[in-house]
Amino acid sequence: MVYLILIASCTFSLSSQEKKQYIVLDPGTELYLFPEKKSEVLRRLSFGEILSSENQKEADSKFQLLTDKDGLTGWVDSRALFRMGSKGSYPVITKAIEKLLYQDSGPNELESVFTYLTKIEEGPIFQGNEYLFLKIRRLVVLQRYAEVLQSPEYRSKSRQKLEDLLKNNPTELGVYSKTGNWTDTLSNAPEGSKLKVRPETFWKVAEAYPNSKPGDFAAYLAVKYTPEIRCGRDPICVLQDEENRRLKYLLLQPNGNYAPIFSSHLEKRLLHFSKDRETLVCDSKLPKESGLKNFRNKVQELPARYGKKFYSKLRVIEEECLKK
C-alpha cells in the first residue's frame, strides 16, 4: 500500500514538472476551440495571464494547446505567447509593454496591462530592481491609459471609466487644469482639465530609492510629468520651476543617466537670463530673496562640478534681482 502511494506521488511530481507554462503578451488574444482562426472563440486572454501545457515535446506550430487557471483548454496563437522557463521573462514582458505603450493601443489593451502590473507582487518571478521597474512602468501605463480614454476618439464614451479610475487610484491620479492647479474630482473641473498621474507619485519612488537605477528612472519620469511653469521673462519663476524639476532630479541622482542632459538644460535656462545684464528684467511677483536663497542652498548640495556650471550665472541673477 505504501509502495503504491509512493509510486502515485512520484508520478504526480513528474507530471507537474512536465507542465510547461506560457505567458500571454498580447492582450485580447483568443483561446480557440480548434487550432484555426475561424474556430469558435472560447474566451479572450488578458496580458500576463499564465497558461499551462502538458505536452512533453516542444510544439513547433502556429498554435499551442493550453489550459487556463480555471481548467479551460483551447488553442492559442503561438506569436502571442512566451515560454516561461530557465530564461527570465522580465525583458520580454518589458519589451511587450513598451510596444503596447507606443503603438496605437486602445483602452482595453492598456487596461489589461495596467491590471496585470497592479496585481504583480515581489516574489519568485520578479524581485529587486525588476519588480521596482515594473511598478514604475505601471504608472506610465496608467498615464497612457488615462490619455487614451480622454482622446477625441474615446472620451464621449469614457466618462464613467475615468470616474472609476480616479476613484480607485486617488493617491496616484488627479485632475490638472490649464491654470496649473490640481483637484480631486472631474465634477465641475475647468474646461480643458485633464486626468493625469500626479508627479508626486513618481517623486515618491525616486526619493525612496536615491542613487539607484529604479530611482533614476522614476526621477526622470517625475521631471517629464511635472508640468513646466510658463514663466516668461521672470527669472525667479524659472528658478522655482527648475528647483521642482531638474534641480530636484540632480539632488537625487547626481550621477544618474539623465544628469548630463538635465544639467545642460538647466545651465541654458540660467544663461538665457545672465548672458546680458542689460536685458535682465527682474520684475517678479514672487519673493526674490527667499527664492534666490533656496536655489543657491540646493545648488550647494550638489557635487562641485555642477557649481562650476551654475554659480557664475546665478550670481548675475542675484546681483540684478537684489539691487536696492
Domain ranges of the chain: 20-83, 88-197, 227-323
What does the pLDDT read at residue 138? 98
What does the pLDDT read at residue 12? 36
Query: Which whole number is the average pLDDT over 119-138?
Result: 93
Q: Where are the beta strands (DSSP E) in 188-270?
A: 194-197
Query: Which whole number is the average pLDDT over 257-267?
Result: 96
The dihedral built from the CA positions of residue 94, 116, 46 and 199, taken in this order, carries a sign that is negative
Residues comprising the chain, all counted: 324
Count CB neighbours of 226 within 10 A.
Answer: 19
- Whether the CB-CB separation of 127 and 135 falls below 8 Å is answered with no
Task: Kindly state the helix (H) or strand (E) to which residue 73 belongs, with its residue range.
Answer: strand 73-77
Cell numbers found for residue 33: 476551440
What does the pLDDT read at residue 5? 38
Question: Which of 15-19, 81-85, 101-105 is predicted least confidently?
Answer: 15-19
What does the pLDDT read at residue 57? 57
What does the pLDDT read at residue 295? 96
| Domain 20-83 CATH (choose: 2.30.30.40, 1.25.40.20, 1.10.10.10, 3.90.700.10) | 2.30.30.40
Residue type, 288: K
* Residue that the C-alpha cell 530636484 belongs to: 248
Q: Tell me: pLDDT of 8 over 50.
A: no
Query: Which whole number is the average pLDDT over 26-30?
Result: 96
pTM of this prediction? Answer: 0.87
Tell me which range, 71-75, 176-180, 276-280, is most confidently predicted by mean pLDDT.
Answer: 71-75
59 — pLDDT class (breaks 50, 70, 90): low
Cell numbers found for residue 225: 510629468
The CA-to-CA distance between both ends of the chain, in Å, stands at 100
User: Please, what is the average pLDDT of the chain?
Assistant: 90
Q: Tell me: pLDDT of 11 over 50.
A: no
Query: Which whole number is the average pLDDT over 243-252?
Result: 96
d(CA 291, CA 233): 16
Query: Which whole number is the average pLDDT over 285-306?
Result: 95
Q: At what angle do helices 128-149 and 213-225 cross, to 10 degrees?
A: 20
Higher-scoring residue by pLDDT: 279, 115:
115
